[in-house]
C-alpha cells in the first residue's frame, strides 16, 4: 500500500505513521523529518531551509518534492507523512500511484494544546506529549534515552504561522484527493490509542 497521511499540525500524523510502520512494515517517510535531517547535518540545503522551517513556513515545492521522490524510489509500500502539503506538490506525484489518503480531522483548539505539550527526542525520531503520551521516564526517550526537547517550530508564533499555511496551502490538497475519491477521514480528536484503532478499521488493516 502507498498511503498519504494529511491533517493539520498536531493532528497525530507522525504518531499514527510510526505505529503503522511498526505493525505493518510500511516504511514511514516524513517530509518534515527528511528536511530536519538536512538541517541537523548542516548541509547546503539544510542551511537554506532552516530559517523558513523555524518560522513555520513551507519549504519550496521543488525542493521538498525532490527530497521525497528520492526517498520513495524503488519502494512499493510506504506512508507519506506531511507530503504533499500544497496543490502543486500533489499534482506532481501522479506517477507514484497512491492507493489511499488518510485525513486526520481535528479542531484547531485541540491541536494548539497538543503542540504546546509536544516533545521530541534529541535524535528527532520519537514524539511524546507531556500529558497524553508521556515517556516511561520523565524527560527521556523510551527508545534511545536521549533528552526530550521542544521543537523550535512548536513555539507559539511558529504554530500560528503553520496554521495559516495549513489553511491556505494544505486544505486544497484535501479537497483534491476527496474529488479523486481517495480520501478516508478519521476523527483524530480522541486519545492516540482510540485514533489508531479507528485508523486501522478505516484502512481495513487487521
Ligand atoms: P512536520 O514535521 O510535518 O510538522 O514539518 C515540519 C516543517 O517542515 C514544516 O513546518 C515545513 O517548514 C517543512 N515541511 C514539511 N513537509 C513539507 C512539505 N510537504 N512542503 C513544504 N514544507 C514542508
pLDDT, one tens digit per residue, over 27-84 is 999 999 999 999 999 999 999 999 999 998 999 999 999 999 999 999 999 999 999 9
CATH number, domain of 166, equals 3.40.50.300
Number of domains into which the chain is organized: 1
The per-residue pLDDT for 194 is 96
b/e per residue 22-47 (b: at least 16 CB within 10 A): eeeebebbbbbbbbbbbbeeeeebbe
Using a 10 angstrom Cβ sphere, with 0-12 exposed, 13-18 middle and 19 or more buried, the burial of residue 100 is: middle
pLDDT tens digits, 121-157? 998 888 899 988 899 999 999 999 999 999 888 888 8
> Which of the listed residues 28, 46, 53, 81 should we mutate to test ligand 1's pocket, taking the one with most ligand atoms within 8 A of CB?
53
Q: For residue 107, give the C-alpha cell.
A: 479542531
Q: Considering the chain, what is the average pLDDT of its residues?
A: 93
Structural domain boundaries enclosing 115: 2-203
Distance (Å) from CA 170 to ligand 1 centroid: 11
Distance (Å) from CA 123 to ligand 1 centroid: 17
Amino acid at each position: 500500500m502507498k498511503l498519504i497521511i494529511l491533517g493539520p499540525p498536531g493532528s497525530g500524523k507522525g504518531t499514527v505513521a510510526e505505529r503503522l510502520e511498526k505493525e505493518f512494515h510500511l516504511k514511514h517517510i516524513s517530509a518534515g523529518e527528511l528536511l530536519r535531517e538536512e538541517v541537523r547535518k548542516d548541509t547546503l540545503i539544510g542551511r537554506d531551509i532552516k530559517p523558513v522551517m523555524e518560522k513555520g513556513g513551507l519549504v519550496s515545492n521543488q525542493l521538498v518534492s525532490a527530497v521525497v521522490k528520492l526517498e520513495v524510489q524503488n519502494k512499493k509500500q510506504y506512508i507519506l507523512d506531511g507530503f504533499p502539503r500544497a496543490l502543486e506538490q500533489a499534482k506532481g506525484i501522479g506517477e507514484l500511484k497512491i492507493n489511499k489518503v488518510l485525513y486526520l480531522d481535528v479542531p484547531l483548539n485541540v491541536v494548539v494544546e497538543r503542540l504546546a505539550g509536544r516533545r521530541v527526542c534529541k535524535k528527532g525520531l520519537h514524539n511524546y506529549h507531556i500529558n497524553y503520551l508521556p515517556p516511561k521516564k520523565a524527560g527521556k526517550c523510551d527508545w534511545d534515552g536521549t533528552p526530550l526537547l521542544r521543537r523550535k517550530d512548536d513555539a507559539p508564533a511558529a504554530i500560528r504561522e503553520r496554521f495559516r499555511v495549513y489553511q491556505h496551502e494544505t486544505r486544497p490538497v484535501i479537497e483534491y484527493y476527496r474529488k479523486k475519491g481517495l480520501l478516508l477521514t478519521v476523527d483524530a480528536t480522541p486519545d492516540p490509542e482510540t485514533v489508531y484503532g479507528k485508523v486501522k478499521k478505516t484502512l481495513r488493516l487487521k
